[in-house]
Each structure stands twice: as C-alpha cells, then as structure tokens.
Amino acid sequence: MTEPAPTAVAEPRDGAVPGSRLDDGEVAARIARIDELLEKLQIAPGPMAQTALDAVRALTEVYGEALARVLDHADAALTARLTEDELLGHLLVLHDVHPEPPDRRAARAVERLRPAVRERGGDVALDGVEGPVARVRLRTAGCGSACGSASSGVEEAVREAVLAAAPELTAVETVPETESRPPAFVPVDSLLRRPARPQGAK
C-alpha cells in the first residue's frame, strides 16, 4: 500500500504562524497593506501592472460569488451571525451581497461606536435614514469650547463608520444634542404670592 503524497504547506508570511487566526489588528494591517499595494499597481507603468489589476478584479469577483453562495446555503440564524461579524460584514458590503438594508447596517455601525462615545461622557444613536442620508443624534459632554476638537473627532469617526457599513448612503448628518440639566419646575402661584415677612419686621 502506497502512502499518500505529503501535502504542500505554504510558507508563512509577515510573521504569521501556519494555521493561526488573525486578530482584528492584524486584519486591519493587512487591509492597509493591500490598499497600499493596489495604489502602487494603479500608478505603475506597463502592461504587467494592468494584468495584475485584472487578476485582482477577477479573483475578487470569484470570492464575491463564493460569499453569495454561502449566504444561499445559510439559514436565518447563521446569516445573522455572519452579518454581525465586522470583517465578514465589510466583505459582504464590498461584494454587494449583504442581505441587510443600509439603515440596519448603519444602526449596527453606530451601536459599535456607542461604548467608546459613552466613555467620553456622550452618547450616539441613529436617528433615521432619509433617502441616501443617515441622521445621527450625537450628544457630547458639556465642556464648552474646549471639547470642540474632540466633538469633531467623534463626528468624523461616526461618519466614516456609517459610510463604510452602508456605502449606498452619500452623507451622514449629525443632530447635536448638548448635555444640559432640565429646568426646575416652579409653580406659577408661588411667583405671584408675596413672601411672608419675618416676625418683628416692619
């Protein structure tokens, strides 16, 4: 009986261990590297650069079809788990096969940012989607003009997250909601009633 031929194992790259999984930071680093390489290909002269770009596009289309077929075989519970995964969600959006509407994806993106915004003393929630525009209600901590740059940073982070999750949308409008104390209730009759004079006063 002949023994099966050994299976070839690809050499690890970028310090990765064969069979290991990538954490979110490593995934982000590789995505950034892919973007960098594609930018270099787009500006590189010669037919070989165009051939490489065509190969990337064809490979991307095949992967998109594979993801679509996974969704075809998935039940409702598995589909929900797939769409809740941030990386898979981005890939489903990239290949235009995401099963959820843009407003639901925008709401999920906002909810993912909510804990970080709350740590800064504010809050954020999706107010709704009107056509291609998402409206986000943003409350920042009441710290005056000193928080202007921080507030702008939060708004930009929310905008980028929403548009990445739902690229069909064209804009994100923030509805500011500054933190303030509600006014104290004062009965009208107490304003009209003259205060009683202390005993002995003239």
Q: What does the pLDDT average to over 41-61?
A: 91
**Residue 179: closest CA among 122, 127, 124:** 122
Distance separating alpha carbons of residues 42 and 46, to the nearest angstrom: 10
Q: How far apart are the first and last CA of the chain?
A: 121
Per residue in 62-92, pLDDT (tens digit) is 999 999 999 999 999 999 999 888 889 889 9
What local confidence, expressed as pLDDT, does residue 9 receive?
44
Per residue in 98-152, pLDDT (tens digit) is 999 999 999 999 999 999 888 888 889 999 899 999 999 988 765 544 455 567 7
What local confidence, expressed as pLDDT, does residue 67 receive?
93
The mean-pLDDT minimum among 112-116, 154-158, 180-184 falls in: 180-184
**Residue 168: closest CA among 67, 83, 96:** 96
- Angle at which helix 86-94 crosses helix 148-165, to 10 degrees, equals 60
Position 8 pLDDT exceeds 50: no
